[in-house]
Each structure stands twice: as C-alpha cells, then as structure tokens.
Amino acid sequence: MFSNKHADIKIVLLGDCGVGKTNIFTRIFQNSFSLESKPSKDIQIVTNNIMIEDRVLKAQVWDTTGDRRFASIKKSYMQNAKIVIIICDVTRKSTFNNIEKWATYVKNYADPHAKIIVVGNKSDLHNLREIQSQEAATLTESKGLPYLEVSALNSMNIELLYHSALAEGYLKLLA
C-alpha cells in the first residue's frame, strides 16, 4: 500500500543467458545498444522516481544474469519483486520453452502476487525467427501471461515495455 504519497516497486528482468536482458536494460536507461555486449556475470540496478497521478513511484529495476551458476544468488534478487519481466529470444525457440521454468521460479521466490510479463526480444531479426509472433502470443496466453515483442537494437516497444511494467506495478500498489 501507499504510505502518504510515496511507493516503491521492484521490477526484475529474468531469462536465459543471451536473450538480451542487459541490452533492454541499457536501452531503457541509457538509450544505447551494443552489438559487442557479452552475457552479464553480475547484477545491475537502476532506481528512478516517476510521478504517477499525485504519487511518487520509486522504480527499482534489476537486470539479472541468466547464467545458471548464479541460480542460488538470484533467489535473493526476487525478494519483494512486484513485476517480473521474463525475456525470451524470438530467434531461439528454446528460450520460449523455458518460460514455464522461469514462471515457476517467480512463483517460488518473488512476491506471491508478482505480475509476470513475457517479452520476446530481437523481433527485428525477421529472417532468423524460430518462433512467430502469433505462436508466442498463443503460448503465453495459454499460461495466462501477457506477451510483448521488442527490439533492443532499434528500440521498438522498449518504452512501451517500461511504461507497461510501471503501470502494472502502480496497479499492484493500489490493490
């Protein structure tokens, strides 16, 4: 619940190694992209304040590593997460096959009422797609999860993703 006119929301980016979590993260906060980016071995956290209606929403966004060696550490990252964005790579169907694994992870370690958003990254790579938009939407819808496609490379839907996550977080705080 809101205390006075201030509230905190924790947003966590999850997904397999190499799906583009860090590139999405840097596109949101620095409006940059690197073709030479390497898989993260650490966590990055950015906090910013956003005014929604007459309240200050302090958004804390966590970019996690997808490396399995850090699974035990990631459990602590999930504490108090209100929004979890599971990121998949549309050019690697195996990353979509792991959505259920990540959703179970969220249910086990995040806030019991955390909202999950599934994101298909690299939508600009049309000729390399292994999963089509409709197939991905159908798969996520069958699990009761919203789906959005983005491209960290060309910024497609990146702002929409962030604002959707903030809106979901705001609604969770009002509940």
Residue 72's domain is classified under what CATH number? Answer: 3.40.50.300
> Tens digit of pLDDT for each residue in 141-150?
999 999 999 9
Q: Which two tokens stand for residue 15?
A: 């997904």
Q: What is the pTM of this model?
A: 0.89
Let me know if residue 1 belongs to a domain: no
**Which residue segment(s) compose the domain that 162 sits in?**
6-174
Q: Is residue 110 part of a domain?
A: yes
Domain count, the chain: 1
Average pLDDT, the chain: 86
Is residue 38 situated within a structural domain?
yes
Band (pLDDT 50/70/90 cuts) for residue 40 is low
- Alpha-carbon distance 73 to 95, whole Å? 21
The residue count of the chain comes to: 175
